[in-house]
């Protein structure tokens, strides 16, 4: 039996005026690369068809036995190392592919990272999950509940995709990304905010997995256990909502679109990113994308993109950055920061 003894920490309470500052960054992708040609060999599609509609050339897929917790632990470990830290006071895991329906996966992630006894919970806002997770962590810090919060976006979204559906198989990949947030001052590089968060539950059926939950636990139709997506309608909502949300946080911060050096959006589809940029009046080269190499990794996509953008020089300290996402629920949201001097783990 595991040792039940741990000592609650009392030294991390902070004033409510503290901001959440990004102090560490890490990402992890499964080693297995699945290119478009491999998908085209078994489905009625082609590399050209996939690229022209999504911008995706390849994606990463977990090997059997590799789980969301496994991915999250590796990304979290790298974010902690990036910040030069070995501890956090809370773990927020953004995922819609928890290892079990019950319990949440975050406590397992925390334990595997050696963070025994800390607050740990999942946030399920699907592709918007990382933005929701950042806002939740910022609230913990502002309330004085935690000084350091590890926010992880991790999904094995290929587990939700019908392997015979050419409309969804090419889009999704697996992966994890994480940031460590610390208490700091609002005028520091890396300070997050303001935030803008929204949802529209009446449109849930546009993008959902019908079975598996309490309402329809054991549907006999296997298709009910896979993701269903009404692509064209989702496309329209995604473009409009991401642009609206970005305008809202820019207005709240007193910034204008021309102030942005980078927009790091959820990597759902290259055409969504391009259309969102057009609706905002944003130069296309400001809208960062790494979707060609990783596909749509759901809640993991923004932190993975952040890490890639730093590695390839697209993000520099002092850059004014917007982050925005749209996902099932429907959910969407945005936030801002001036990029800190962080080296990804």
Is 127 a residue of the active site? yes
Residue among 36, 124, 127, 237 flagged as catalytic: 127
DSSP 8-state assignment for residue 58: E
Query: Rounded to whole angstroms, how far apart are CA atoms 41 and 57?
Result: 14
| CA 215 to chain CA mean position, Å | 27
Contacts of the segment 233-239: beta carbons below 8 A, 24+ positions apart = 233/206, 234/206, 234/207, 235/269, 235/271, 235/272, 235/275, 237/203, 237/206, 237/326, 237/330, 238/268, 238/269, 238/272, 238/276, 238/326, 238/332, 239/272, 239/275, 239/276, 239/279
Is 239 a residue of the active site? no
Residue among 266, 269, 276, 290 flagged as catalytic: 266
Q: Are 226 and 209 in contact (CB under 8 A)?
A: yes
Residue among 36, 124, 269, 296 flagged as catalytic: 296
Is 296 a residue of the active site? yes
| CA 338 to chain CA mean position, Å | 19
Looking at the annotation, which residues are catalytic? 127, 266, 296
């Amino acid at each position: 039996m595991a040792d039940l003894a741990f000592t609650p920490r009392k030294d991390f309470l902070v004033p409510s005026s503290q901001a959440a500052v990004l102090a560490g960054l890490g990402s992890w992708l499964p080693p297995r690369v699945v290119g478009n040609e491999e998908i085209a060999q078994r489905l009625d599609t082609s590399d050209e068809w996939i690229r022209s509609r999504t911008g995706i050339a390849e994606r990463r897929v977990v090997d059997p036995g590799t789980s969301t917790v496994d991915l999250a632990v590796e990304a979290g470990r790298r974010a902690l190392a990036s910040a030069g830290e070995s501890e956090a006071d809370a773990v927020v895991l953004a995922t819609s592919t928890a290892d079990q329906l019950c319990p949440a996966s975050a406590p397992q992630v925390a334990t595997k990272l050696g963070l025994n006894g800390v607050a740990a919970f999942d946030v399920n806002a699907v592709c918007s999950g990382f933005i929701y997770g950042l806002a939740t962590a910022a609230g913990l810090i502002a309330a004085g509940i935690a000084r350091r919060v590890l926010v992880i976006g991790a999904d094995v979204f290929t587990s939700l995709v019908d392997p015979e559906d050419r409309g969804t198989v090419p889009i999704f990949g697996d992966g994890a990304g994480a940031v460590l947030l610390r208490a700091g001052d609002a005028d520091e590089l890396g300070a997050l905010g303001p935030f803008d968060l929204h949802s529209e539950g009446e449109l849930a059926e546009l993008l959902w997995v019908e079975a598996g939950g309490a309402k329809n636990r054991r549907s006999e139709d296997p298709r009910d256990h896979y993701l269903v997506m009404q692509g064209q309608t989702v496309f329209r909502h995604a473009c409009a909502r991401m642009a609206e949300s970005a305008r809202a946080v820019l207005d709240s911060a007193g910034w204008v679109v021309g102030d942005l050096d980078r927009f790091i959006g959820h990597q759902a589809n290259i055409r969504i990113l391009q259309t969102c940029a057009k609706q905002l009046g944003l130069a296309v080269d400001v809208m960062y994308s790494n979707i060609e190499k990783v596909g749509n990794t759901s809640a993991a996509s923004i932190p993975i993109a952040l890490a890639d953008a730093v590695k390839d020089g697209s993000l520099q300290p002092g850059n004014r950055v917007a982050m925005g996402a749209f996902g099932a629920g429907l959910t969407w949201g945005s936030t801002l920061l001036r990029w800190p001097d962080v080296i990804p783990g």
